[in-house]
Amino acid sequence: MKISQLLAEDAIASLRSSVHGLSPAEAARRLREYGLNRLEEIARESLFLRFLKELTRFFSMILWVAAALAFLAEWNEPGQGMARLGYAIIAVILISTLFSLWQEYRVERTIAALRELLPQRIEVWRDDTVIQLLVEQLVPGDIVLLEPGAHVPADCRLIEAFGVQVDNATVTGESVPQPRNAAPSEKEELIHASNVLLAGTSVVSGQAKAVVFATGMRTEFGKIARLTQASAEVVSPLRKEITQLSRLIVILAVLIGVIFFSFGLTMGLPFWEDFIFAIGLIVSMVPEGLLPTLTLALVLATQRMAKRKVLIRHLPSVETLGSTTVICTDKTGTLTQNRMTVRQLFLSETFVCPLTDGQQRTLGAHYQPFFRAARLCHDLRENNHQGQTTFLGDPMEIALVEMAQQVLPENEAPHLVDEIPFDASRMRLTTIYDMPEGPTLYSKGAPEALVPLCTGMLVDGTVRPFDHDERQKVFKAQEAMAAQGLRVLAFAYRTLPSQWDRTSPEQDLVFTGLTGLEDPPRPEVPEALRKCQEAGVKVIILTGDHPRTAEAIAREIGLVQSNSPVVVTGERLRGFSDAQLQLALDAPEIIFARVGADQKMSIVQALKQKGHVVAVTGDGVNDAPALKSAHIGIAMGIAGTDVAREAADMVLLDDNFASIVNAIEEGRAVFDNIRKFLTYILTHNVAELIPYLAFALGNIPLPLTPLQVLSIDMGTDSLTALGLGVEKPDPQVMARPPRPQTERLLNWGLALRAYVFLGMIEATGALTAFFFVLYQPALTFGQRLTPTNPLYLKATTACLSGIIVMQIVNVFLCRSPIRSVFSSGLGGNRLILWGVVFEVALILLIDYTAWGNILLGTAPIGSEVWLFLVPFAVGMAVLEEVRKWLVRRDMFPAEIRHGQ
């Protein structure tokens, strides 16, 4: 017989296990025999194939063509140095390819390391103790405990089940959750057995205890090989934009090269000299390092976020965070500490706060059903370790159990008969136990959900009729407790007949009382909310709590400051049309209370229709649709379910709202940093382009050779550009409104600053240095010089050195488009400082070593050239400081100012 056809105890015995779980020694032995519980990864492309793909990318193909043309020129007219240029271009292709592969490897390693910060765990009975175990360490025979929102980690046979429903869509394709129970199944196929939970599926509702019978590739999930690694990589909009921008620059470079090549021929330039010029022009404008720098900026941002307790699951989320305009957040555990304490009781029309020793004895005698409901109506796991009993689960339920334990006798351990699990629509949890007086139902939940089911009321140990007036007193007590910011729960019970109706036992209940639980706000939340307000990010609370409780907490943390905020309940929301909801969302202060998971999704959709970029938090399985619907889904790392984490784009490792604000800050910094290194790269592209235009139009020797251009792009400026890509967030980044979704990376402000302002200043300094060395009294304007002429070599070296000197100054100017370099400082970024050291060392090697002179066509220059360059470098810094001063005083048009 198959395991699904056996009785629960026989199924356990067939796996040589017990209800107490495996011993550690036996579990270790089985782990060695069966291996880790994980799916085999899909074989990746070979390193050689990935290397070939990099060699044939768009940029590389352009450079391959340039190298081929250089070799053709050398073959046709030897001795012009074109072969050396061809080899240099090939070297650039290889270096760029190796760098991209290294970056890809680093990205993979970083993402793998980040995933390890949040390993998937499961509660397992081992040696009569409940422990938290890594999923991949499960073995056949393990007894696992599952609750709503949990992923089923292996193929399991249920041995206890209370209201269990599972989502089998990933394995069977069934779109509707399927009920499961512990009774033997008549079906032979495991995939359809009513008592089997399949690996890869998820628990939608109920509580389950099950024995594992297949792990890893032996599961049904493994057999059909629906591997999550097969999903396609998402290309972010920003990466697409940079790719398009880079291709546009390449197309323009080729077009400009062809135009000036034709112009040179009409001006009478020798063909091969004109050809060299055209190749150099194209090479000078190709942004070889742009895409690798973008990838590095995103990856290092995820590492910084991880240090700030935020795990990014998808790289595109980093950039989207920067434009977030609305955060829809839960209250419990995110805005509050999730450390519940019972502060007040309402029993027999009387408020009790707190429990004294004398009250414990009196109340225990008169209100035993109330405390039994608090003690027994929960989904906690009891863990007995070294003689001590602890509880695992919801902090609210732990607080209720601890309160009840002060009153009830310790030897009570009734048998659980059935359970009706909590869900957002019912807003209550019900358990049924075998008690000495017979089967008894205990229920707890929202007062508005539980009180209508009650016909009796417990008063000093006696059940009295629960009429309309008494109900109104209960609701008034609820309002009073909620106004104090307490989370209010109602409790009820019912002694069932021996043959009770299992379809609808929640009727004719006896109301026993209310509890008010306090969950204090996190101390860092008010400051985080202040940052949101300054940053133009609206925060909306979506909670299942009472409206008064939500409003009281919102006031305490500073989210609500007016006398009349808009508070919308789930019941009221159900009557809203789409237009009414969108209009309601215009309110400056709005709170949604008693809302379900489906209503969260409606709110998110309405905000998106209004043009907002929405981030939403969630922790339960029912929150998954809202998390997927939002631009940024945020799951809880501690209290969140596996399903919620899988649906989310980012995970809060500390469940703290302040961490969301930190993530938005980092997201804004990423976009700013990309603009910084883009400004830096485009600036030296202009300084490289202008000398070529001067050569074509001014009848002068070529001030900068193609090899020297490549030495700047792939050599001297490489580390400093990367340093700008990993800058820390600007102190004022959260004082700006969110970036519009339509705002482009390269706008008029950035283009004017890089091309017209900084680029022209840098080009002027470099060309002036070239002329300073070249036009000595013995040389007349227009006189032709050979490429090996010592004076010409010194002049090109002066031009190259001028660009490097100006770029050293420029890297500090680009650290902020608005703040003065004196406020942003020269330190704080070790990569930039090391980049400057590398830049200085490399230009000295190029200028003053024999191999540098031979390879790049340079010659040593005197100290007078360096001194000549100093005023230009200082002037560039002064002019940029003046520009920033004018920007800070709003003396530029908005379209230019906003592009900074």
Active site residues: 330
- Three-class HEC string of 317-359: HHHHHCCCCEEEECCCCCCECCCCEEEEEEECCEEECCCCHHH
The answer to whether 714 and 289 are in contact (CB under 8 A) is yes
Q: Which of 468, 454, 430 is nearest to 510 (CA)?
A: 454
Location of structure tokens 């995103």: 298
Cα torsion through 745, 746, 747, 751, rounded to 10:
150
Q: 545 by DSSP, 3-state: which?
A: coil
Location of structure tokens 């414990």: 360
The answer to whether 162 and 379 are in contact (CB under 8 A) is no
The answer to whether 63 and 283 are in contact (CB under 8 A) is yes
| DSSP 8-state assignment for residue 508 | S
Segment (H or E) for 258: helix 237-266
The answer to whether 37 and 223 are in contact (CB under 8 A) is no
User: What are the φ/ψ torsions at residue 194 (nearest 5 degrees)?
Assistant: -75, -10
Radius of gyration of the chain (CA): 35
For residue 526 the two structure tokens come to: 């008010």
User: What are the φ/ψ torsions at residue 204 (nearest 5 degrees)?
Assistant: -85, -40
Identity at 392, one-letter amino acid code:
L
The answer to whether 312 and 114 are in contact (CB under 8 A) is yes
Taking each continuous run of H as one helix and of E as one strand, the counts in the chain are 34, 26
**Rounded to 5, what percent of the chain is helix, strand, coil?**
50, 15, 30
Task: Give the Cα separation of 709 and 696 in Å (integer).
Answer: 17
The answer to whether 226 and 170 are in contact (CB under 8 A) is yes
The answer to whether 868 and 772 are in contact (CB under 8 A) is yes
Q: 134 by DSSP, 3-state: which?
A: strand
Task: Give the Cα separation of 200 and 38 in Å (integer).
Answer: 11
The string of DSSP letters for 486-504 reads -EEEEEEEEEPPTT--SS-
Identity at 60, one-letter amino acid code:
S
The answer to whether 589 and 562 are in contact (CB under 8 A) is yes
The string of DSSP letters for 568-631 reads EEHHHHTT--HHHHHHHTTSSSEEEES--HHHHHHHHHHHHHTT--EEEEE-SGGGHHHHHHSS
What stretches of 453-536 adopt beta strand conformation (E)?
454-459, 462-465, 487-495, 509-518
What are 274-279's contacts with CB under 8 Å, separation 24+?
275/69, 275/73, 276/73, 276/80, 276/82, 276/85, 276/702, 276/706, 277/692, 277/695, 277/696, 277/702, 279/66, 279/69, 279/70, 279/85, 279/706
| DSSP 8-state assignment for residue 649 | S
